[in-house]
């Protein structure tokens, strides 16, 4: 199994019919779920599923379905539409994650994108933080060119 970084194909079509609203103050709720290296995630992922989602090895830092992430209202960077998210942390965490899925919790858990971490990332009784890159035309996690 593998996790590949990709904007999900289903998301691309759903954008054209107005399914997703990334507006920061009144838009949909988006979540980030973490997965093990046994997961199979990529462009073909259509929705959140708990199969091969991580679990805590100690403590309760992670709950099934992940955490809500805060969207920053989309903007243009030149001719590219970009969306950013606030960094997210899991405190007092003990687990190993290989990648994640960002999905729309307000719209039947529809997938937005998958992110491969480039290998297993482990935290033991510490803080696991995902830092999103700046919302630039070539760096934003979600961008439409």
Render 74-124 in DSSP notation, one character per residue: EEEETTEEEEEE--EEEEEEEEEEEEEEEEETTTTTEEEEEEEEEEEEEEE
Residue 68 in tokens: 């809500």
pLDDT tens track of the chain, all 145 residues?
799 999 999 999 999 999 999 998 899 999 999 999 999 999 999 999 999 999 988 878 999 999 999 988 899 999 999 999 999 999 999 999 999 999 999 999 999 999 999 999 999 999 999 999 988 888 888 888 8
**Domains of the chain by residue range:** 6-144
Task: Find out whether 34 and 97 touch, Cβ atoms under 8 Å.
Answer: yes
């Amino acid at each position: 199994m593998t996790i590949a970084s990709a904007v999900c194909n289903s998301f691309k079509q759903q954008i054209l019919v107005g399914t997703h609203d990334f507006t920061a103050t009144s838009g949909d709720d988006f979540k980030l779920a973490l997965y093990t290296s046994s997961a199979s995630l990529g462009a073909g992922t259509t929705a959140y599923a708990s199969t091969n989602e991580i679990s805590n090895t100690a403590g309760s830092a992670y709950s099934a379905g992940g955490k809500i992430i805060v969207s920053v209202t989309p903007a243009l960077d030149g001719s590219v539409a970009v969306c950013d998210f606030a960094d997210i942390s899991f405190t007092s965490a003990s687990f190993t994650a290989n990648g994640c899925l960002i999905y729309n919790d307000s719209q039947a858990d529809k997938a937005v994108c998958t992110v491969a971490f480039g290998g297993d990332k482990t935290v033991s009784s510490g803080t696991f933080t995902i830092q999103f890159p700046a919302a630039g035309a070539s760096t934003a996690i979600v961008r439409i060119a």
